[in-house]
């Protein structure tokens, strides 16, 4: 059994270990202890606030193995990106060059630096210890955020995005960065990515080209990875797409990883989740796994159970009710863990 809960300052040492394990290209989890401590503290503030922060708040969750209380994963939500500092993407577009006199008509794909997703909610910072990439741990870690969004809709705008990690090799080298960004920044991909993770984004606006970039002028290796994900990110992309997220032709400015987006109300786990009442007692295991969460903010808890809710209620063991911090008669939110279609 494992449980999702809000991160605590006591998790700092373990979070630093996960950050180091995540490797280059994981912008939202940089290997910097001071910054990670600040992220935890910001999250604690967000969970303690009774009203939503109009400039956006950061929520961090950890996945804890209940048997030994070991933190095995982390995930997060940014309630509104780009309101405190610029949030950059490349938007893919098309430019047509035509001459009637010469009988020439050419269309070219372009990249344009933009801030189009400003104000959107972002699901982010998803990382699971490789030893636990099994038994629905990854699915729980990713999808728990959707029950939190469903429960506290008033804290989040209407569109939710997810930046996917782009293609890089074992040494952290990015073909897209080598073909484009390196020419403007005069630094390695890992350094630029690290600075972005620290929140130092002013240099992006200062150094990136302000005009459209013609994709066909980039090296072939750079063109081939536009909108593609890192091999370790393929399952995460498929999971989000099964929840209704789609690629809208926006990419990361450093590694060209795709950004997926979905209206909050259209996310499957949000749309299909419902309340049921808790009954505590023995239960018969069901074959269909369900995602279940309490309705608390500061003490939010979420896990996966193989118990079928029926007639507006769900029967939990005393142990499971304790993990979820619920009592007899409380309401919980449930949804099938995966789409049945």
Task: Tell me the DSSP string of 256-308.
Answer: --EEEEEEGGGSHHHHH-EEEEEEES-----SS-EEEE-S-STT--EEEE---
Residue 205 and residue 86 in contact, taking contact as beta carbons nearer than 8 Å: yes
Q: What is the DSSP letter of 107?
A: E
Residue 110 and residue 117 in contact, taking contact as beta carbons nearer than 8 Å: no
Residue 23 and residue 17 in contact, taking contact as beta carbons nearer than 8 Å: no
- Please name every residue paired with 59 in a beta bridge, in sequence order, or none if there are none: 77
Q: What is the DSSP letter of 239?
A: H
Task: Tell me the DSSP string of 17-63.
Answer: HHHHHH-TT-TTS-S-HHHHHHHHHHHHHHHH-SS--TT--EEEEEE
322 is catalytic: no
Q: Identify which of 341, 334, 340 has the alpha carbon closest to the alpha carbon of residue 144.
A: 334
Q: Which residues contact 6 (CB under 8 A, 6 or more apart)?
A: 43, 44, 47, 59, 60, 61, 62, 298, 299, 300
The one catalytic residue among 230, 279, 286, 322: 230
Active site residues: 230
């Amino acid at each position: 059994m494992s449980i999702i809960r809000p991160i605590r300052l006591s998790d700092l040492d373990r979070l630093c270990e996960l950050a180091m394990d995540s490797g280059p290209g994981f912008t939202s989890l940089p290997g910097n202890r001071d910054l990670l401590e600040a992220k935890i503290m910001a999250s604690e503030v967000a969970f303690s606030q009774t009203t939503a922060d109009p400039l956006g708040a950061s929520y961090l969750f950890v996945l804890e193995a209940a048997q030994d209380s070991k933190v095995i994963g982390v995930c997060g939500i940014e309630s509104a990106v780009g309101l405190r500092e610029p949030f950059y993407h490349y938007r893919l577009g098309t430019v047509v060059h035509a001459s009637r006199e010469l009988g020439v008509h050419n269309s070219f794909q372009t990249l344009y630096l933009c801030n189009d997703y400003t104000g959107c909610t972002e699901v982010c910072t998803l990382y699971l210890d490789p030893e636990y990439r099994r038994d629905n741990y990854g699915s729980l870690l990713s999808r728990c955020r959707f029950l939190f969004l469903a429960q506290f809709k008033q804290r989040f705008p209407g569109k939710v995005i997810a930046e996917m990690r782009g293609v890089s090799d074992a040494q952290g080298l990015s073909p897209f960065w080598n073909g484009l960004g390196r020419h403007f920044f005069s630094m390695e991909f890992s350094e630029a990515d690290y600075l972005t993770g620290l929140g130092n984004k002013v240099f992006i606006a200062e150094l990136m080209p302000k005009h459209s970039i013609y994709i066909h002028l980039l090296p072939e290796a750079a063109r081939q990875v536009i909108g593609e994900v890192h091999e370790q990110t393929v399952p995460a992309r498929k999971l989000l797409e099964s929840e209704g997220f789609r690629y809208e032709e926006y990419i990361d400015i450093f590694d060209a990883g795709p950004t997926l987006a979905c209206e909050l109300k259209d996310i499957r786990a949000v749309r299909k989740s419902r309340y049921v009442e808790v009954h505590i007692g023995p239960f018969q295991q069901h074959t269909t796994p369900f995602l279940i969460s309490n309705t608390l903010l500061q003490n939010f808890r979420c896990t996966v159970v193989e118990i079928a809710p029926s007639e507006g209620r769900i029967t939990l063991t005393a142990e499971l009710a304790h993990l979820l911090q619920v009592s007899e008669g409380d309401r919980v939110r449930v949804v099938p863990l995966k789409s049945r279609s």
